[in-house]
Structure 1
Amino acid sequence: MPSGLMALLDDVAGIAKMAAASVDDVGAAAGKAATKATGVVIDDAAVTPKYVTGLSPSRELPIIWKIAKGSLRNKLLLILPVALLLTSFAPWAITPILMLGGAYLCFEGAEKVMEVFGGGHGHDDTPVTDDPAHLEKSTVAGAVRTDLILSAEIMAIALADVAHQHLATQAGVLIVVGLGMTVVVYGAVALIVKMDDIGLHMVEKPSRLSQSIGRGLVKGMTVVMSSLSVIGTAAMLWVGGGILLHGSHTLGLAWPAEPVEHLAHAVAGALGPVGGVAGWLTTAVISAILGLIVGAVIALVMHQIARLKPGKAAH
């Protein structure tokens, strides 16, 4: 009997060790996958604040919370099951789907660049209505739709990095990445949109230091909000182009991924201490240029198709 108990305890200890190792594997894989998805996260954090710009300050945080909940539903109830089905029954489809998402990001980024020069679709995602409740509902719905694309990219990047793991590990990684990225993105968004209110609160304090910091925050937020649009566009092009580069290489195309990789290595080797950063920047810039070219081509084709629709021919 004691020997049977000891054997049982050994089995329990073994299972516990396996579970702990599995948790460690999930954590390590999730961290690695999340790092690769950083560009899309930057894009997500840069895009989202526009949805609460101009709305009542008292409703900013509640709206961000609603968008965050919609983002979690996107990741965990829609994207996660589809991703696991794909990796189980059609793993070959992951890279093409990821590249389609990358092409969409390139398209959106190119449209924004074209708008600056008078082209692009010129649409405004902000709904026009006098009813605050309807405006809030429409704003949240629009933000959640945009989040669906970006969340799909984040989850697909994470999935591609752990596609060789067991299904349970894949699910764990996607859950950790989905939760973590949602907290990071919408926590950052909440901080960004409330920074001016924090500054105004600090201005009212008796401390001169607090007042100075508060005034700096209020003035600085104007620059931050205008910069977010530029950062978001650059991130779209960089991430989208990078996904296309990596995807084409995964599908067996040596060009242009390998020449870009060789150039980045050459730059990194030539610049010594700052070589790592310079090599990364080289890849990022080339990815953004590729993304702009691909996105512009897609945008021009879409515009031509739109002109061929009935009622558009006269434009």
Structure 2
Amino acid sequence: MAGGLVALFDDVALIARAAAASIDDVGAAAGKASIKAAGVVVDDTAVTPQYVQGISAEREIPIIRRIAKGSLRNKLLVILPVILLLSEFLPWLLTPILMVGGAYLCYEGAEKVWHRLKGHSAAHGSAEEHPPDEDSLVRGAVRTDLILSAEIMVISLNEVAEESFWSRLAILVVVGVLITVLVYGVVALIVKMDDAGLRLSRSDKKGVAGLGRGLVKGMPKLLTALTVIGTAAMLWVGGHILLVGSDELGLHAVYGLVHHLEEAAHEATGALGGVVGWLVNTVASAIVGLVVGALVVLVLSLTLHRRKAGAQAH
């Protein structure tokens, strides 16, 4: 009896050690996959703050919380099941689906550029007279997040493609939760930094008060800069998705040209080659994104938007 009990304890200990090793493996793989997707995470962080511009201070965190919940649903309930099933049964469909999402990002970025060129001041005045509708803001943010989250999850999936199905599932769940907490935690800190600055500015200590005043003065400029960066990020990520996807589908010309320019810049700039090559690729991707996005905006303006305007006139 005692021997059987000892054997049972040995088996339990062995299972526990195996489980701990598996958890360690999942954590390591999730960390590796998250680092690989870091570029898109930065884009996601830059894009999101623009959705709470013009919103009262007390509503900023609730809106970010709603967007974060939508992002988590995107990753775990929509994207994760789809990409796991597709990777098992129809892996060739992942690239075209991702390219459709990339085209949508290009459209979003190009539309923002178009509205700014048409006249930012008029749009700004209108926004002050009519405060943004929170539900519409959240829906728009979650739609954009769907594309960026899909890119993050597909990049992560590619990093763990050799793992078993259940390991991939566990790793991608960890990645989805980790990145969502990271992105929206940073966004919340950014948008509330002016409130923190206001509190610090009331301090009796001159240095602390000066820091607080600096934060209060600097935050509007930071948010404006993040809006610009977010728009550029949409064009960059969308264009890059289209470039890589077209190459994977056998259309090598544009991707080959960009890759050639990147390699030439890398070789011509010596120690700074890596940075300069990356900048060339980024700018080229953004240009591709702007061109594709502008074409989508033009087509929609001549068709869907014109039809809507005609229906409203009647």
When the two structures are superposed, what TM-score results if normalisation uses the length of structure 1?
0.84
What is the SS of the residue equivalent to 1:309? helix
2:180 aligned with 1:195: no
What is the SS of the residue equivalent to 2:253? coil
Residues in 2 aligned to 1:46 and 1:39: alpha-carbon distance in whole angstroms: 11
What is the SS of the residue equivalent to 1:117? helix
CA spacing shift, 1:209–1:103, aligned 2, 3 Å: same
Q: How large is the Cα RMSD of the aligned pairs?
A: 3.4
Structure 2: runs of 5 or more not aligned: none
Q: State whether residues 159 and 170 of structure 1, in contact with CA within 8 Å, keep that contact through their aligned partners in structure 2.
A: yes
Instruction: Within 5 Å, give how 1:85-164 maps onto structure 2.
Output: 85-118=85-118, 135-164=133-162
What is the SS of the residue equivalent to 2:303? helix
Equivalent residue letter for 1:243: I
The alpha-carbon deviation at position 204 of structure 1 amounts to 0.7
Q: Alpha-carbon deviations, 1:129-154, whole Å to 9, x = none? A: 78x9xx55554444334333332332
Corresponding position of 1:62: 62
Corresponding position of 2:292: 294
Corresponding position of 1:213: 211
Residues in 1 aligned to 2:93 and 2:85: alpha-carbon distance in whole angstroms: 11
What is the SS of the residue equivalent to 2:118? coil
CA spacing shift, 1:35–1:282, aligned 2, 3 Å: farther
Name the one with the larger helix percent: 2
Q: State whether residues 111 and 297 of structure 2, in contact with CA within 8 Å, keep that contact through their aligned partners in structure 1.
A: yes
Q: State whether residues 44 and 185 of structure 1, in contact with CA within 8 Å, keep that contact through their aligned partners in structure 2.
A: yes
Query: Quick one: which of 246, 249, 252 aligns to 2:244?
Result: 246
Structure 1: runs of 5 or more not aligned: none
The alpha-carbon deviation at position 176 of structure 1 amounts to 1.8
CA spacing shift, 1:112–1:255, aligned 2, 3 Å: same
Query: Quick one: which of 225, 233, 239 aligns to 1:227?
Result: 225
Q: State whether residues 266 and 276 of structure 2, in contact with CA within 8 Å, keep that contact through their aligned partners in structure 1.
A: yes
Q: State whether residues 109 and 234 of structure 1, in contact with CA within 8 Å, keep that contact through their aligned partners in structure 2.
A: yes
Q: State whether residues 29 and 160 of structure 2, in contact with CA within 8 Å, keep that contact through their aligned partners in structure 1.
A: yes
CA spacing shift, 1:295–1:55, aligned 2, 3 Å: closer
CA spacing shift, 1:274–1:311, aligned 2, 3 Å: closer
Corresponding position of 2:47: 47
Q: Alpha-carbon deviations, 1:280-312, whole Å to 9, x = none? A: 111111111111111111221122222663763
Q: State whether residues 261 and 283 of structure 1, in contact with CA within 8 Å, keep that contact through their aligned partners in structure 2.
A: yes
Corresponding position of 1:180: 178
Residues in 2 aligned to 1:259 and 1:4: alpha-carbon distance in whole angstroms: 69
What is the SS of the residue equivalent to 1:55? coil
Residues in 2 aligned to 1:174 and 1:142: alpha-carbon distance in whole angstroms: 24
Q: What fraction of aligned residue pairs are identical, expressed as a percent?
A: 56
The alpha-carbon deviation at position 211 of structure 1 amounts to 1.0
What is the SS of the residue equivalent to 1:312? helix
CA spacing shift, 1:199–1:308, aligned 2, 3 Å: closer
Q: State whether residues 105 and 144 of structure 2, in contact with CA within 8 Å, keep that contact through their aligned partners in structure 1.
A: no
* Count of aligned pairs between the two proteins: 310
Residues in 1 aligned to 2:266 and 2:20: alpha-carbon distance in whole angstroms: 38
Equivalent residue letter for 2:284: I
Q: State whether residues 79 and 152 of structure 1, in contact with CA within 8 Å, keep that contact through their aligned partners in structure 2.
A: yes
The alpha-carbon deviation at position 279 of structure 1 amounts to 1.3
